Structure 1
Amino acid sequence: MSFGILALLALLPIISVFGLIVLFRWPATRAMPIAYLITCFLAFTVWKVPFSQLAAASIDGLLTAASILYIILGAILLLNLQQESGAIFSIRKSMFLISPDRRAQAIIIAFLFGSFIEGSAGFGTPAAVAAPLLVAIGFPAMAAVMVSLIIQSTCVSFGAVGTPILIGVNAGLSGQVEVVNYLSAHNLDFASYLNSIGGKVAIIHGITGTLIPIILVIMMTRFFGQKRSWKEGLSILPFALFAGLCFTVPYTLTGVFLGPEFPSLVGSLLGLLIVVPLAKIGFLMPRKVWDFPAKETWPQDWIGQEIEERHDSES
């Protein structure tokens, strides 16, 4: 069997997930088991993987999924506690006291707070926590999800207290012959090598991550503003770049000098401590406050069917 056919077969589980979820709009609860069965079938018939190895890999996958769900559970539990206790309304009031500008709110909640959640919990929890917070303070559901997913970039490499580097990269490189030979030739131990990788990742992502706030803002004003304007997003460029630097500078320094555990945590925490009080006094903020159009004019796809149905049932 040719290499091209093998590559295509290897991609088939991923293609099936994309097709079933994106094209056919199947829920993940139906699409993922089918992708799993396709994977097992290909592994058993094409690559001749023993059944015992398939079973062991499946059990390992279940345990890994359970650990991820356990982490996400804490984030969702925190959100539900905020909702039930009424803290969510206090947060909404506090955000308007900091800045009524939706662009600044998106940067503070989605980018800085979302990065903090990613640095501590990881595994996509910013979308599970920051997006509902944005909806609670008046963002369209689609806009809240969009900005919460855009920030899943710079902070992810050091999410869950450095898990991608300490576990992901570690598992991929540890014991590899090429890596062992490289370390021997340069008289390095593996821990130092891993830290150097984290430092280089921090530098690259620190440069690009500075632009994430302005990217999420111009996307928001372009697709969810009344004027559908890029310029309304660019008008907050000084504040967005400042907020980005407040995150990426300590993020990069932490990754280079302290290791991969804390860049996202330190960067976001210091960023919040600097940006929030300065936003409150209008530092680098444009004079004109930007907001979404009136809620009654929002298209249905901004709100989402489930939220709309819930709103109707409550009213």
Structure 2
Amino acid sequence: MTLWQFLTAAMPLFSVFILLVLCRLPARQAMPLSLLISTVLAYWVWQMSFLQLAAAVAEGLVIVATILWIIFGAIVLLKVLTLSGAMAVIKAGFSQLSADKRVQLVIIGWLFVGFLEGAAGFGTPAAIAAPLLVALGFSPLAAVVLALVADSAAVSFGAVGTPVLVGLAQGVPGVTAIELQQIALTAIGIDIFVASWLPLILVLMYSRFFCEQANWRYGLAAAPFAILSGLAFTLPAYAVTWWLGPEFPSVLGALIGLAITCSAAHFQILTPKPALTIPVGAIDLSIQTHQSQLAQTQSVHISVPKPIALWKAWLHYVVVALLLVLTRVSELPFKAWLQGVNWQWQAIFGTELTVSVAPFYLPGSVFMLVALLAALVFRLSRGQLGNAFKQSGIMLLPSCIALAAAVPMVRIFLHSDVNALDLPAMPLALAALAAEYLSDSWLALAPLVGALGSFIAGSATFSNLMFGSFQQAMAQEADLPANLVLALQMLGANAGNMICVVNVVAAASVVNLNGREGEIIRYTLWPMLFYCVAASVVAWMLFR
């Protein structure tokens, strides 16, 4: 590989890091520049044809439309619940369970996000959790950063096992179902020693960077509760993987963890002291005050005659989670029904590229359906519903430019194997270059390759698809157990989810934080590196 070919292959990574993180440009400026530079180099140096480039961009734009639909649906649901006053009730309910934001962060940011990842994945968790954290009083920046860091461990089995059952199953030639389960068990076994610390990292990050106390000691005071919540997820997830396979560890592990952690918070077991509480009367008053202020600040009048019951306020998020689970279980008929309506664009511009969209299967359609049901339940007027749609559209606009550049750039990167020089795809060329010089240190590098895949492709599933066979070959060359290396690929793909540009842009847009994507990545980069390094150390010490 020549120097120019190396620079071309690495340009999507270099340009995003330099423009977003170092130069601190907003994504709406950084991503179009990155796309332009990468496209020119792909044409002149990698010698991709114009039609292949155009087809990759077109495929990317279709994918962008599906992502925007998910974000739009999440924002509309949020706006409906806000206008109705339900969001204020949810906030008060968490305050009643525990007024301590460290406890609230662990319950929502760690376990509720884990459940949503296991149920739906593909950016859904942060789109739901970040607004909830903002409603509880977290700053938008804190909400997005912490939600992205939390949305990592559960990604191993996100979207009902898709990263394993699709990513590894199709990305690793000849892998059997028994081997897949062994790989999954190895991954979650390592995670018991690594991911169990993530809730503590969340609390420490919040305490040091995002709260008034701004010190590590405030976060360390919550260490017992945070570690309890970490183990409350990872240990049940391991048991579920052992008994049931890779489909439901995240969903069931998070549900069991929620039951354990909420009970501990209710009975103040291992919670940080002092565990502040708010009298019920004060909660009711805060709900009414919030509704009164909301009615004055919104352009459409809001009238809530009496406080909404907590179960009724939560019902619509529960329905979202339930529908996402029911529509993603292959044994039930709903998945086939929804995927039956499928739009396809085959042989885009005469190339081998094909893209398909099942609009009713997208999480955005679930969000939109539940948002309309919520508007009926809470009796919002047409004006209020129209206001929710208008505000959602305004919030979505800045994300359109960033995503419309980021995703096509990724697709060019992935489809660069079709070129006049008979070069491999750019990510595989980079990985092969690393393997040539670094095979002796592959236990340390395997998670970073997985993280690279998620950073580029925006999905742990795509990372496993892209690098699964490569990791298998590297395991043989380095004389390492293939199951262990592939487990590290899974864990690295989880970690990369924290810094993936597509996820960052999507989460930021939901809380109207457009333009600060580089700042978000500067926060999430270090937890990502911790995850990869810790996974490598645990694998080297206990599993090789």
Into which bin does the TM-score normalised by the smaller protein fall? 0.7 to 0.9
CA contact (8 A) 2:116 2:124 kept: yes
CA contact (8 A) 2:232 2:257 kept: yes
1:285 aligns with 2:275: no
Residue in 2 that maps onto 1:61? 60
Distance 2:122 2:25 in 1: 22
Residue in 2 that maps onto 1:40? 39
Residue in 2 that maps onto 1:26? 25
Give deviations 1:113-154, integer Å, cap 9, x for gaps: 112222223233333221221111122333223321221221
Give deviations 1:168-210, integer Å, cap 9, x for gaps: 334432xxxxx44xx5xxxxx3x44333333322222233111
- Give TM-score scaled by structure 1 length: 0.78
RMSD: 2.7
CA contact (8 A) 1:154 1:206 kept: no
- The 3 A distance-change label for structure 1 pair 84 and 106 is same
- The 3 A distance-change label for structure 1 pair 278 and 149 is same
Give deviations 1:40-83, integer Å, cap 9, x for gaps: 32222222223333333333333333444444444334323322
Deviation at 1:29, TM superposition (A): 3.1
CA contact (8 A) 1:162 1:261 kept: yes
Q: How does 1:76-115 map to 2 (within 5 A)?
A: 76-115=75-114
Distance 2:185 2:68 in 1: 29
Distance 1:228 1:252 in 2: 35
Distance 2:7 2:245 in 1: 38
CA contact (8 A) 1:143 1:220 kept: yes
Deviation at 1:103, TM superposition (A): 0.8
1:157 aligns with 2:156: yes
Q: More displaced, 279-288 or 117-126? A: 117-126
Distance 2:189 2:62 in 1: 33
Distance 2:213 2:244 in 1: 45
1:204 aligns with 2:203: no
- Using CA pairs below 8 Å that are at least 6 residues apart, which structure has the higher relative contact order? 2
Distance 1:270 1:264 in 2: 10
Deviation at 1:94, TM superposition (A): 0.5
Distance 1:41 1:130 in 2: 38
1:118 aligns with 2:117: yes
Q: Which amino acid aligns with 1:50?
A: S
Distance 2:158 2:164 in 1: 9
Q: Which amino acid aligns with 2:195?
A: G
Residue in 1 that maps onto 2:222? 236
Distance 1:115 1:125 in 2: 11
Deviation at 1:86, TM superposition (A): 1.8
- The 3 A distance-change label for structure 1 pair 150 and 27 is same
Distance 1:25 1:113 in 2: 31
Q: Which amino acid aligns with 1:148?
A: A
Deviation at 1:290, TM superposition (A): 7.3
Give deviations 1:278-312, integer Å, cap 9, x for gaps: 21121112332479xxxxxxxxxxxxx978xxxxx
Distance 2:269 2:194 in 1: 23
SS at match of 1:285: coil
Aligned length, in residue pairs: 280
SS at match of 1:205: helix
Q: More displaced, 30-39 or 201-210? A: 30-39
Deviation at 1:14, TM superposition (A): 2.0
Deviation at 1:19, TM superposition (A): 2.5
CA contact (8 A) 2:221 2:273 kept: no
Residue in 2 that maps onto 1:52? 51
SS at match of 1:210: helix
Q: Which amino acid aligns with 2:64?
A: A
Distance 1:148 1:112 in 2: 11
Stretches of structure 1 lacking an aligned partner (at least 5 in a row): 174-178, 184-188, 292-304, 308-315
Q: Which amino acid aligns with 2:217?
A: K
Deviation at 1:164, TM superposition (A): 2.7
- Give TM-score scaled by structure 2 length: 0.47
Q: Which amino acid aligns with 1:286?
A: P
Q: More displaced, 146-155 or 241-250? A: 146-155
CA contact (8 A) 1:75 1:121 kept: no
CA contact (8 A) 1:71 1:121 kept: no
Q: Which amino acid aligns with 1:258?
A: L
Give deviations 1:3-30, integer Å, cap 9, x for gaps: x542222111222222333344433333
CA contact (8 A) 2:204 2:219 kept: yes
CA contact (8 A) 1:98 1:277 kept: no
Q: Which amino acid aligns with 2:271?
A: M
